[in-house]
Amino acid sequence: MRYYPTMGLEIHAELLTKSKVFCSCSAEFGGEPNTRCCPVCSGLPGTLPVLNRRAVEYIIKAGYVMNCDISRFTKWDRKNYFYPDLPKAYQISQMPRPVCLDGHVDIKVNDEDKTIRINRIHLEEDAGKLTHEGRISLADYNRCGIPLIEIVTEPDFHSAEEVVAFFEKIKLLLLYAGICDCKMEQGSIRCDVNISIAPEGSEKLGTRTELKNLNSLKAIAKAIEVEIARQTEILDNGGEIVQETRRFNEAAMETLAMRSKEDAHDYRYFPDPDIPPIIFTEEELADIRATLPEMPEQRMARYRTAYGISENDAVIIVSDKRVSDFYDEAVDGCKSPKNVASYLVGEFMRRVNLGEIDLDELKFSGKDFARLVEYLYSDKLSQNNAKLVLGEMAQRGSSPESIADEQDLWIKEDTELLSAVIDEIIASNPKAAEQYRNGDQKVFGFFMGQANKALKGAASPKAIQEQLIAKLRR
């Protein structure tokens, strides 16, 4: 039988606040185990949590960029369960009154627009980390209390492509809003997938399973594929899906049962008496909204209208905030933003994809790059030499000027040399010259190539072309 999959996501994203959500410990990633914790986040008796208002601002921003309603009244609840990585044995989270409700995010999959509904976004604290070494387990509480938002979608996905596209869009929005660094490998953004299948045409949804441990975009897509296949096989053989949480094992390409509905925790949620509810005024919300930076759609519109760059180039630039930030820096005060965009999308991105340019550790500034493009388009550097210069800039970070000086790469516009070289080329290739004069345009490329090779950047392509035409026609 053919089945139709339905999926919903729970995305956890750590907020980029300086301190933790209920104490003043650093919220930075890593650190020697148990060096970024205090009596409050390690849950010592008598200590009390105090809400970090910056974290609240950040979740409100997340709500706005995902088109949510922001609750005017919000409060925190305790989610009670025992686990050694949870020092208080309860997680401070939000149950009935989350900060954000009823949002939506638009995505594009295979050129089709689609809207994914957001059920809610709430603010909670992260737990610590356990490491198991043989028979002993070690607890590191550095991550305890790092502010976390949980984005819960409606079951609006029907393919792995949609899930991946949405997840990438969420990452982009969070990065642009400056509220999460979205490093999956460090766990600062994590995604659980609720997934069920039902016979095609059926109105009713099937029994769902929840997939965990999805550490990369690739893992998300693979896990969905594997789980759909597993569920399909069970239904085809007349079996029943068990509602349970499953862990994806990427090496074995399989999902494994973690716990079933029967052993699900009763979290005994109740309002946290240590944290008074918050009531937002319209002014407070407006102030927070006003601090939202320019989002990808707005940037794209600006690139298109103010700089006149193509939609394709604009899409490529904004889909990585680091590239877009670099571009903004490059074109600030630059005369030809359009040229900068095409060289960025072309040569620069080529080297990014090859791993020659590391966007997290750029060795040169946007301004350096803009001047390089300027030299290329004003015939001060040849196409080949510009590439050479960019390569050097990526490697050692010097300015384009000093690299071109050092390696003698500037176009010199040496007209005497140019004239002599061209005369010589025409003289040693009489046949080809004859062909050209008889109207064969194709051989012109051959002459250009010969001239470039001999001149090594001593003249601009434009000058070579002019001289060649003039001399060949003679």
| Closest CB 19 distance from another protein, rounded Å | 13
| Angle, vertex CA 139, rays to CA 136 and CA 142, nearest 5 | 160
- The residue among 244, 173, 245, 176 whose CA lies nearest residue 214 is 245
Q: What DSSP string describes 317-374?
A: HHTSHHHHHHHHHHHTT-S-HHHHHHHIIIIIHHHHHHTSS-GGG-SS-HHHHHHHHH
Residue number with CB closer to another protein (43 or 337): 43
Among 239, 276, 308, 449, binds another protein (CB under 8 A): 276
Residues in the chain: 474
Stretch that binds another protein, among 48-56, 254-262, 288-296, 432-440 (CB under 8 A): 48-56
Q: Is 138 in the site for another protein (CB under 8 A)?
A: no
Q: Is 73 in the site for another protein (CB under 8 A)?
A: no
User: What HEC string does 154-222 produce?
Assistant: CCCECCHHHHHHHHHHHHHHHHHHCCCCCCHHHCCEEEEEEEEEEECCCCCCCCCEEEECCCCHHHHHH
Q: Is 275 in the site for another protein (CB under 8 A)?
A: yes
386 within 8 A of 346, measured Cβ to Cβ: no
Among 18, 28, 35, 50, binds another protein (CB under 8 A): 50
Query: How does strand 112-125 pair with strand 147-153?
Result: antiparallel
Residue number with CB closer to another protein (46 or 430): 46
Among 28, 35, 39, 216, binds another protein (CB under 8 A): 39
Residue 237 carries which side chain, given as an amino acid letter?
A: N
Among 89, 138, 253, 286, binds another protein (CB under 8 A): 89
| Closest CB 73 distance from another protein, rounded Å | 16
Among 45, 134, 238, 430, binds another protein (CB under 8 A): 45
Among 13, 56, 139, 409, binds another protein (CB under 8 A): 139
Residue 467 CA to residue 286 CA, distance in Å, equals 64
Among 9, 11, 21, 51, binds another protein (CB under 8 A): 51
Among 43, 98, 366, 400, binds another protein (CB under 8 A): 43
Q: Is 90 in the site for another protein (CB under 8 A)?
A: yes
Q: Is 266 in the site for another protein (CB under 8 A)?
A: yes
43 within 8 A of 223, measured Cβ to Cβ: no
Tell me which residues touch another protein (CB under 8 A): 39, 42-51, 78, 80, 82-84, 87-90, 137, 139, 266, 268-270, 273-276
